Amino acid sequence: MKINSFYTHRLLAAIAIAGLPALLIAEPDTTYSEKPEVAAARYLDARRQSQAVTTATVDALAARGPEVRGHIVEIAGKIVGRTTRASASDSPLSFVLRIAGSEYAVFIDVAGDHALIKIGNTVHVLAEFPADGQPLDHYQMREIVLTADLPLAKRNVLAVAQQETTASPAEAVNTINRDPLAGQPSDSPPVSQESSPPQAEVVARPGTLFPDMEQWATSAAVSTWMEWVKKRNPRLNDLQVRLIVETVLYYSHKFTIDHRLAFAMIKYESDFNPRCLSHAGAMGLTQLMPGTAKYVGVSDPWDIQQNIMGGIKYLAEQLYTYENRSNYEQTILALACYNAGPNAVKRAGGVPNFSETQRYVKRVSDLFLQLYESGMP
C-alpha cells in the first residue's frame, strides 16, 4: 500500500460507543373532536392554575434561559417535527415546535401521544423546563390547544404579533406542512465545485428524526458546533444549523465514528449547503450519488437528516473496511474511498493518483486534525 508523502499526521479514526435505541417516525392514529370552546376553557384553566409564564422572549425560550428554568411556560408556534422512540421511556414522544414569529425551535417531550401533535399544526403549549442541575434537556408538555381555538385576546403575545403580520391568518391555522423549510428564505445556489445548471428546483427538507440528546451530546457541544457551522455557511437559518449539527452528532455516535471527521467531510463536500448539486449528480450536504444513496438506505437525498445519515453510514463502512490498519491509514484510505470509490482505492493499492482525490484527502484530514487538536467537543 502506498501513502503519499504529504500525509504527515496520525489521526483518530473511530470511537467505540454503544448504539442507541431505534427511532420510529409516526403520526397519531387518533382524531381530534374537542369543541373549540371546551378546548379553550380547559387550556386557559390549566394556564391559570399553573401560573404559567406567558411573557418569555423567543431568545429565553430557545436558549432555555434562567427565566424559564423550573417554570411552566407558554410556547406558541408551529409543529415542524416529531419522533417516537421504540424503547420504553417516561416520555416516548418528542416533537419540535418552531416558536411563533421566529426561526427558533424547541424540543418538547410528551408522556403519551396526542391528536394535536401533528406536523403543521399551529398550537399553544404549556411546557415545563427542569430547574438547573436536573438532567433532562427538553421541555415537558403539560397542556396543548390549537391556536385557532383560543380567543385572540387570550393568545400568547408572540402568536398575536405573528398573526398581525400575516396576510391571511386563517391559512396558518392547523395546516399540514411536511416541509418545515417551505416559505423560508432560500439558500444560495449550490456551491459545489461543479455546480450544475438548474433543471428543477432543489429543496432541502429536514425530516423529522429528533433523537434524545442524553446519551450522545450536550447542549454546550451542540451550541459550539452550531457556531462553527454558521461561520462556514452564514446563509443557513438557525433551525437548519441545529438540524445539521444534531444529526451529525447523533449519527456519528450511532455509527461509531469521530464526529469531527464527519464535520470535516461535510465542510469539503458541500460547504454546509443542503442544496448542493454537482454536475455528476451528487446531492446534498454529504454529496450522495443516486446509487450510493440507494445503497445506504436513503429514499430522499434532499432530506437533510437522511442525507447526513447516508453519508456518515457510508464513511463508517469505509473506515471499518480498513479497521485492521493504523488509525492514520484507516482514516486516509476511508476518505479516499469516499471520494474516488472503494474500487479505485483497491486498484491503486492506496490513495489513487488523482489530483482531486489527493487534494480532498489532504484537506479533510488536515481539518479533522485541526478540530481534534483544538479541542472541539
How does DSSP assign 29-68, residue by residue? -------HHHHHHHHHHHHHHHT-B----HHHHHHT-TTT
Higher-pLDDT residue of 20, 355: 355
Per-residue pLDDT at 103? 66
CA nearest 65: which of 53, 79, 83? 53
Lowest mean pLDDT among 11-25, 82-96, 145-159: 11-25
pLDDT digits (tens, 9 = 90+) for 225-275: 999 999 999 999 888 898 899 889 888 888 888 999 999 999 999 999 999
Neighbour tally for 344: CB within 10 Å: 15
What average pLDDT does the structure give for the chain? Answer: 75
Architecture of domain 219-373: Orthogonal Bundle (1.10)
Residue 335 scores a pLDDT above 80: yes
Region 20-46 average pLDDT = 68
C-alpha cell at position 143: 397542556
Residue 318 scores a pLDDT above 60: yes
CA 274 to chain centre: 12
Helices marked H in 51-181:
58-63, 157-164
The full set of domain ranges for the chain reads 23-172, 219-373
Please say whether the structural domain 23-172 has been given the CATH code 2.40.50.140: yes
Catalytic residues: 269
Per-residue pLDDT at 275? 92
| Longest CA–CA separation in the chain, Å | 74
d(CA 266, CA 119): 28
